[in-house]
Every structure is written in structure tokens, then in C-alpha cells.
Structure 1
């Protein structure tokens, strides 16, 4: 069975799903087998897509107008299609850059394999750039990772203040420019150091 999915980026009427619906129906997808969303492709919360993926069964073919209607990114797309393939479900793209993809055919699987290889290549490039950036930062005396909200002096101040039972946590947090929940990451209610506090003083 052919199952269709359509998406437009806005829900304010400036874009219409009609073009995609018409293309899917022309490709053989029944009107009642088309799922859709009006949301950004970068959003995780796409109920139409979730319902579509849930409805698909082994032997079905997920049909989309363009490749970018399905995935948030190249990596998300590859992951989604790989999971579909493992379930015995095909993918067919009607137009655009991914029009050669039809994972129910050998040629289509080859095309998607190229996309998957590009995704892996992109991931490796990002990892290499990240590692190179960290190495360069360390050479200049900077370390990667989370920046702490409190300095060493502020942690010591928090220790002393919290050891005093009359200290107002709200007032102390305001003085330090942080929220109470953040303060408790550094010291407990008696002024004892917690993980973040220890890491600041050790650093």
C-alpha cells in the first residue's frame, strides 16, 4: 500500500498542502492515506509524521513530494529511512533533488546509499572540525566544555553564606546573579560543596 506524507512550514495560510496532496494522489496514493503537518521541518513535534510512521506496515511504500518534506536534516532523514528499511517499508520521492530515490528498486537503494554516505561524511567533518577547534583552544590556554555560572570567589562566598542558617537563598541567588536551583548545583543547604562547586575550585 502507498502511504503519503505532506508538510508545509507554516500554519498561517501562506502555504498550502494542496500541491503536495495532488501530486501524491496522482502517484497513486489514496486521499485517506495521506498524513500531513503544518510545522517547521526542524520541529520534533510533528503529529502527522508520527501517525504516518505508526500506520506503515511491512510492504508499504512511504511516498513524499520532496525529500525535505520528510527529514529535519540529512542525518534525521537517513536514520528515518534506515528504520523504515529495517521494517520492510520502502520510500519513494516524487520530485526535487531526491527524485531518484525509490528504495523499492535497486537503483533507488543505490541513490539513497549515496545520501547515507554523504551524511556519514558530513558527520565526520563536523567531528574533525570540533576536535581541531578544541585542540586550538587548548593551545591558547582555553578548555572546552560547560562554562560555570560562578567563579571561585563566588563559590567560596556561597559556601560561607549557606553555612549561616539565617541566609536567604533567594537573596543570595539574586546577589550572585543566578537562580536558586543553580545555586544548589554548587553548594547544599549547609554550605557543603556539590559537584559543580568542587569542579570550579579544583579548576
Structure 2
């Protein structure tokens, strides 16, 4: 099944979703399977994207107009698509930078692999700077490191809740006292543990 996602940056009426919706429908997406948000690219809360990602099943393909409609950053984009790939979900980009990406084809997977390599490079640079900063802080007698936002009990709760398709991510985040972007550091849309969640449970 083809499932489409569209996003515009402004909700004041100065932009329209029509262009993206028309492109999605022209490429075989049923209008009933189109999700859309009106939110800036860096805004964390995008409820329709969350619903879209949760609706995708193995064998489905997510169709987007441009890459920048999906990810807040290169790293976020690569993580999202890698997660879809692990679930057996494809990605097709219709226009703009990355229009050659169609993970259902070998050429498309190769194109995306280049983006993934760049994101890994960016991540390595950030990690290297972070480690250098922590080393400098320790040399001055200070300890660094981010505290976990969720406890072991909360991680288990998040796992169980996200495995239920009827769970409202917004309500769950309110209950846990975190934002959606924080929740997704610990569990994926299907309730599987991510790196932060594994680290909390193993601590």
C-alpha cells in the first residue's frame, strides 16, 4: 500500500497543501491514505507524521513530495528511514533533492546510502566534539553527561503503550512528562526499544 505524507511550514493560510496532495495522488496514493501537518520543519510535535509512521506496515511504501517534508535534520531523516527499512517499509521521494530515492529499487537504496553515510559522518563529528568537551570538563574537575529523561518503569510503560495501536502519543507524552522527540529516543512507534531505552534498562 502507498501512504503519503505532506507538510507545510505555516498554518496561517499563506501556504497550501494542494500541490503536495496532487503530486501524491498523481503517483498512486489514495486520498484516504494521505497524512498532512501544518508545522515548521524543526517543530517537535507533528501528530499526523506520528500517525502516518504508526499506520505503515511491512510491504507499504511512504511517499513524500520532498525529503525536507519528512525530517527535521539529516540525522533525524536517516534515523526515520532506517527505522522504516527495518520494518520492511519503503520510501519514495517525488521531487527536489533526493528525488532519485526509491528504496524499492537498488539504485534508490544506493542514493539513500549516500545520505546515510553523510549523517553518520555528522554524528561522528558531534560525538568527537562531545567527548573532547567532556574530557576537558573532567580535567577541570567537572563531571558531564546527560541524565535520562525516563526511568526504567516509564520505559516499560512506554513500550507497552506504543505496542497498542490505539495509544495517543500526545497523551502518553503528557503522562510521562516528555515531548514526542524524547519519547522516540527510547522506543519506536511499535514499542521496540531504541538505544536510550536499552541503556536505561541496562543501567
TM-score, length of structure 1 as denominator length: 0.65
Matches within 5 A, 1:73-152: 73-134=73-134, 143=142, 145=144
Post-superposition Cα deviations, 1:15-40, rounded to whole Å, max 9, x if no partner, equal 11111111111111111111000012
Post-superposition Cα deviations, 1:74-125, rounded to whole Å, max 9, x if no partner, equal 1111111111111111000001111111100001111111111111100111
Structure having the higher Rg: 1
Deviation at 1:126, TM superposition (A): 1.5
**Correspondence 1:36 to 2:36:** yes
| Equivalent residue pairs, number | 145
Cα distance, 1:133–1:13 mapped onto 2, change above 3 Å:
same
Q: How far apart are the structure 2 equivalents of 1:137 and 1:89?
A: 43
Bigger RCO of structures 1 and 2 (CA < 8 A, at least 6 apart): 2
Secondary structure of the residue aligned to 1:12 is: coil
Gaps of 5+ in 1: 147-203
Q: How far apart are the structure 2 equivalents of 1:138 and 1:58?
A: 46
Secondary structure of the residue aligned to 1:130 is: helix
Matches within 5 A, 1:38-53: 38-53=38-53
Give the structure 1 partner of residue 15 of structure 2. Answer: 15
Secondary structure of the residue aligned to 2:97 is: helix
